[in-house]
Amino acid sequence: MNIARMKKDSSNIEQLDRASAQWLQRYVSDARTGSPANPAGVGVEILAIAESASRVIVEVDARCLAVEHVSAIEEILCDRLAARLLRPSFSLTQGTQAYVHCILDSASTGFEQSTLTDIEESIHRVVSGWSGEFATLVSGRNVPISLREHYSQVLPEEYRHEVSPVRAIEDVLRVESLGNGSVDVVLDVANSGAHVLSLYVLGRSIPLSAVLPVLRDLGTDVVDEKHYPVERVDGSQAWIYRFTLTSASARNHAPSSPSLAPRFAEAFLSMWDEAVESDGLGALIVGSELDVRQIAALRAYSHYLRQSGLPYSLARIESVLREHSKIATALIELFEVRHDPAFDAEARSLRAGLLTERIVGSINDVAELDADRILRALLSLIDNTLRTNYFYRDAGVSDPFLALKFDSRIIDVLPYPRPHFEIFVDSPRFEGVHLRFGGAARGGLRWSDRREDFRTEVLGLAKAQSAKNAVIVPVGAKGGFVVKESSARRSGDSPNNEGCDCYRMFVTALLRLTDNVDSVTTAVVPAPGIVRHDGDDYYLVVAPDKGTARFSDLANAVAVQRNFWLGDAFASGGSVGYDHKEMGITARGAWTSVRRHFLERNVDVDRDDFTAVGIGDMSGDVFGNGMLLSRHLRLVAAFDHRHIFLDPNPDPSVSYEERSRLFHLQRSSWADYDRALISTGGGVFDRSAKSIPLTEEVRSVLGISAQIDTLTPAALISRVLTADVDLLWNGGIGTYVKAADESHLQVGDKANDLVRVDSNQLRCSVIGEGGNLGLTQRARIDFSLRGGHVNTDALDNSAGVDCSDHEVNIKILLDSVVKRGELSEDERNSMLASMTDDVANLVLANNRAQNDLLATARAEAIRMADVHQRQIDKLERDFALDRELEFLPSDDEIALRLENHARGLTSPELATLSAHVKLSLKADLLRHDLIEDEHFAGALVEYFPPLLRERFGGHIISHPLAREIVATVIANRVVGNGGLSYVFRLADESGVDVGDAVRAFEVVRAVFGLESIWQRIRGGEITVHVADQLIVESRRLLDRAARWFLSNRPQPLDIASEIARFGKLVSTLSPHVPGWMQEYDRANVAVRSAPAVEAGVDRDVVDEVYGLLDLYGLLDVVEIVVATDQDPRLVGELYFMVKDRLEINRFLMDVSGLDSHDRWDSLVRLTLRDELYESVRLVTLDVLSVSSSCGAVPDASAATRLRSWEERNSAIIGRARYTLSDAHAGRGGNLATLSVAARRIRSLASTVQTVGEPL
């Protein structure tokens, strides 16, 4: 725009009045001749014509000038020049230009240039309109001409009318900056009243229904909306939306925060892009000073609180935080202080303490009880958050999820059982939780479909996993994630692809909070960018589970990318690992239980035909593999989520082959079963059918009344579950059997409510649980009490997790060898594959051992009921066992069972108890230095397959988990062979600790060669019932010998020294014991061993096992030999002679026959038994001492020495025998009689030592 010109004009007013038109014509002619037209379209010239008047000439574009513009120009001139109009103005048009002539009452020409420029700009805005002003503003912003010209033309008339050119400039620049599919937003904040939100969209217009919920969640109401289509320079379509908003603070005339506009814009864009969720917490943007990330943290805690079981909906939690926004802000401030790496430890602690105090005070002032509980729960969660990725950045970018690690044990709102640690991950796309019951823990990650209570589902599985992991190195863990509907809908991918992406993020989140291990120094490397409120935590492994069976490679890729120390050992079952389905390991492990149950019913599943119904289909791992483990299986019915299979009278061989074909057919279903091979009356039916017709054959096999012609699919499945068959095999997903007094709601598996049956309706004899949670624990117990054969899912299907554990630990070992350059990666992978069968054998050996343990526990359940009761009490007291949660019977219930039914704990209860016994023993051992004993180096090595023992035995001892492996092997060995209560009884009766009990076990096991005896029993052609009795019999020696070592040898036992001291002599003398036994002893053995002999057990095995108890005395014999330096065989023979002379075995039998109702009865029996054996030892020593001191012939026989001793002490012995004869004559298991007799024998031993002492 030209600078306005100012100069003097000699004309006076009168002349101007007379010839103004002619003057203006001449002036214009001169101006046009002298200079080009003003390119800006507006020019102003002021000429003073008198002392009190001035002529003002305004030049404008003729195309822009309208009649109404003249008066507007007059107003501008008068206003800016502080003058009055003296004469009406008039105008002249010449070509493309127009000139307005004004006379004002001011002769001054000394105006500031800025004033004159302002006049020109103001006139320009008047005469050029909205477009002109817009073009002027654009020019001032240094915007390209093409953009200026384009938008001057395309902006809609309605837009021009309602939006100022100044605002339009901002709109245009934002529209042009939009990328494909993107949006932009800006909020103009008013201190009071309404705010205006401008939304810019490229592409198709958006419906209000998409925008309004977001604005509502941000705490605003829309009072007006306008939208304008705009074509961009590149021809693409864009939209500008204007929303007039009001909020509670605006309605209350509260001043807006200076940070509201950027926070609101950021929050809107994050919600729109679904980078954060749009929910009721968004209102905190307006109602507080929190930003979108801080609110996302509050949202994560709220989501977790909903999963915790606290009885409040998410909407209620959100409303409490909105209503108490200052407390919400303080909670986030506390969260940030606790986890911001910028704080040093001292400052963090001080600041957090002050904040906590302030928050507690604020909560105390909250009037509503529900709000108080919610806010305190959130405070507890924040106080017990150990780690978070909130401050983690990778190249300045934060994670698209928030991960929180909790110390769950001390969070009061959580239900029991409470895990040791858990990580909760919150994202707009998914939520996930991973529960661990210890530092080293293992379990699968499942893709859950239970959005509202997936933590409850995972917790139940983690509880079962803990019991399952009793036989492996890590304790129990389980994880699960849910894909949110909005995420799956938005992604556009198949649900499986979205699940893969969410799984990958879930795994990334878990690893983000996990420490690492340096591959060179083996030092722990803390998780980067993470404040740790706990110690080192570097052991994290996962496994496939429901919905994630093929995801292991995804998890391992994340671990390898992050350089996690476990590499592809992080997730078992990947492409370089053990394929559980191909191995059939889970099914084979569960089938071990099935085989054992049938053997107890005198049925051999490998030889005898048996009937079955099943849950699952042949494409499944557990069901498919399980149904191919016997060619004698007659599967009469089965079902999965798609079909019901009925084969009333199957041919075992034909049906086996067809099942095998389906198993190897990719993605098969029961619909692929060859109908021609199904027996008469059978078929395959769709579960979506309205009803299913019943044939006579189906009614017969399922026990359905002849009057019923059809059933709904759900009703038919219930009849399948209650069929009168030998086996119910669960290889599916879901809970199908509950106890009669349990509700479907308590079961927590709504999908199967229509088909679920009660345990008292079951007519099968055996249940095999290849799948998880097929029955409730109470259903198992009830079924067992009714005579059914069942364990628990945790025990039956533990082979899968056991196999995974071996895979991980083998990979850890081999990876260390690879890093040393002793093995290539390809050689490592080939070696892994070559050991598949060896790993399976190790795993299945554990399954057999667990079933053997349960079998012997069942055999002694009544006799040991009191011990089991006290053992449960101790586990409750010392190891946080929750009896109710584990469905273990109360003391009163145990007493009632014994009184009314002569029943102890059932097999499912014993399985649960055995798991906790092993877990507690492992925990104790890991706190003990015992496992560093060189004696247990063999336990570490035997965990691994033979190939690794041979090639890398030297590396095994440096395995990072060596202590945990040793503790696991020892716990399995001691409990499996010593029995459920071995350690507990030793501690209870002798006051020893776990280390003492284990040392004694190892010494006795080695000294008496018990391991080889146990192997011969289990490996022989012996019925399982008899084998169980032989094992129980062998444990009598174990118990007594262990107590002997703990009472008579220096403590703590030196395992190697004790084995060296006793092992050789016991081994040498053992073959002579049968010859030293007297007639009564031999008769006693014959009576006790008669059932085994009648059962056809090899005579050598019978004699060895039932002769074990008589070997117990050899421990005293060895001590006497060492003390006297006498011939071992002489001492042994003499010892047994003395035992016979004093009729000790008779008294020992009577002691064993005493009632044992409680701990004190047991202690009395132990004391009497110890006194009797001690008497034999003292008398034997005295006989040797007297005969030596009296000049007996050195090679005198034992009989001669004993006879000489008896003659020397005849009076004392006579009096003792008189008392003992009375005791024998009146004995009947009387405690008083036996106590007196034992005391008399002990007195005899003490007296003869004194009286018989040589002069």
Is 863 a residue whose pLDDT tops 50?
yes
Given phi > 0 = left and psi -120 to 50 = alpha, else beta, which region is 5? beta
Mean pLDDT is highest, among 58-62, 821-825, 1169-1173, 1251-1255, for: 821-825
- The predicted model gives 584-607 an average pLDDT of 96
Q: Which pLDDT does position 195 carry in this prediction?
A: 87
Q: Which pLDDT does position 93 carry in this prediction?
A: 77
Q: In the predicted model, what is the mean pLDDT of the chain? A: 87
Chain Cα centroid distance, residue 43: 79
Chain Cα centroid distance, residue 197: 44
- Where do we find the tokens 């002679």? 1137
Q: What Å distances lie between residue 107 and 2, 103, 349, 871, CA to CA?
A: 22, 10, 77, 115
For residue 1223, name the pLDDT band (cuts at 50, 70, 90). low
Half-sphere exposure of residue 680, counting CA atoms within 13 Å on the CB side?
A: 3
Q: Which of 76-85, 208-217, 1149-1158, 1167-1176 has the lowest mean pLDDT?
A: 1149-1158
Express each pLDDT in 370-408 by its tens digit: 999 999 999 999 999 999 999 999 988 999 999 999 999
Q: What is the dihedral of CA 1207, 1211, 1215, 1217, to 10 degrees?
A: 10
| Run of H or E including 328 | helix 325-339
- 1161 or 536, higher pLDDT: 536
Q: Which of 195-199, 708-712, 940-944 has the lowest mean pLDDT?
A: 195-199
Is domain 154-273 given the CATH code 3.30.70 in the classification?
yes
Express each pLDDT in 1081-1125 by its tens digit: 888 888 888 988 888 888 889 999 999 999 999 999 999 999 999
Secondary structure class of 112 (helix, strand, coil): coil
Closest by Cα among 792, 775, 798 to 908: 792
| Run of H or E including 246 | strand 237-247
Q: What Å distances lie between residue 437 and 408, 459, 850, 920, CA to CA?
A: 10, 10, 22, 12
| Percent of all residues in the chain with a pLDDT value above 70, rounded to a whole number | 87
Burial of 171 from C-beta contacts in 10 A (0-12 / 13-18 / 19+):
buried
Q: Which pLDDT does position 1238 carry in this prediction?
A: 66
Q: Which pLDDT does position 900 carry in this prediction?
A: 83
Q: What Å distances lie between residue 1099 and 15, 51, 1015, 1088, CA to CA?
A: 153, 148, 16, 13
Q: Which pLDDT does position 818 carry in this prediction?
A: 93
Closest by Cα among 1024, 767, 792, 776 to 905: 792
- The predicted model gives 818-840 an average pLDDT of 94
Domain with CATH 3.40.50.10860 in the chain: 391-575
Q: What Å distances lie between residue 323 and 371, 632, 688, 1005, CA to CA?
A: 9, 68, 48, 68
Mean pLDDT is highest, among 105-114, 761-770, 1143-1152, for: 761-770
- The predicted model gives 577-603 an average pLDDT of 95
Name the residue type at position 439. Answer: G
For residue 1254, name the pLDDT band (cuts at 50, 70, 90). very low
Q: What is the C-alpha to C-alpha distance for residues 357 and 1126, in angstroms, rounded to an integer? A: 78
For residue 413, which phi and psi values (nearest 5 degrees)? Answer: -75, -10
Task: Give yes or no for a contact between 437 and 767, defined as CB atoms under 8 angstroms apart.
Answer: no
| Architecture in CATH for domain 391-575 | 3-Layer(aba) Sandwich (3.40)
Express each pLDDT in 318-343 by its tens digit: 999 999 999 999 999 999 999 999 99
Half-sphere exposure of residue 583, counting CA atoms within 13 Å on the CB side?
A: 25
Peptide bond into 693 cis (omega under 30): no
Is domain 602-788 given the CATH code 3.40.50.720 in the classification?
yes
- The predicted model gives 165-173 an average pLDDT of 88
Express each pLDDT in 10-33 by its tens digit: 445 455 444 455 556 666 655 544
Q: Which pLDDT does position 778 carry in this prediction?
A: 97
Q: Is the dihedral of CA 169, 175, 177, 183 positive or negative?
A: positive
Q: pTM for the complete prediction?
A: 0.82
Q: What is the C-alpha to C-alpha distance for residues 591 and 632, in angstroms, rounded to an integer? A: 14
For residue 231, which phi and psi values (nearest 5 degrees)? Answer: -95, 125
Give one DSSP letter per residue of 555-580, joined into a string. Answer: HHHHHHHTT-TTGGGSBTTSSSS--H
Q: Which pLDDT does position 1168 carry in this prediction?
A: 76
- 585 or 252, higher pLDDT: 585
Q: Which of 882-886, 1124-1128, 1184-1188 has the lowest mean pLDDT?
A: 1184-1188
Q: What is the C-alpha to C-alpha distance for residues 1032 and 702, in angstroms, rounded to an integer? A: 40
Domain with CATH 3.30.70 in the chain: 154-273
Task: Give yes or no for a contact between 128 and 69, defined as CB atoms under 8 angstroms apart.
Answer: no
Domain with CATH 3.40.50.720 in the chain: 602-788
Q: Which pLDDT does position 544 carry in this prediction?
A: 87
Residue 433 DSSP symbol:
E
Express each pLDDT in 88-121 by its tens digit: 776 777 777 788 888 888 755 566 777 777 788 7
Closest by Cα among 242, 226, 225, 227 to 188: 242
Name the residue type at position 925. Answer: L
Give one DSSP letter per residue of 870-883, joined into a string. Answer: HHHHHHHHHH---T
Residue 675 DSSP symbol:
G
Q: What is the C-alpha to C-alpha distance for residues 500 and 245, in angstroms, rounded to an integer? A: 40
Q: What is the C-alpha to C-alpha distance for residues 190 and 223, in angstroms, rounded to an integer? A: 15
Angle between helices 994-1007 and 907-926 (to 10 degrees): 100
Q: Which pLDDT does position 107 carry in this prediction?
A: 54
Express each pLDDT in 1062-1087 by its tens digit: 999 999 999 999 999 888 788 888 88
- 1254 or 485, higher pLDDT: 485
Residues involved in catalysis: 478
- 126 or 214, higher pLDDT: 214
Task: Compute how many other C-beta atoms are within 10 angstroms of the C-beta atom of residue 10.
Answer: 9
- The predicted model gives 134-157 an average pLDDT of 77
Q: Which pLDDT does position 261 carry in this prediction?
A: 86
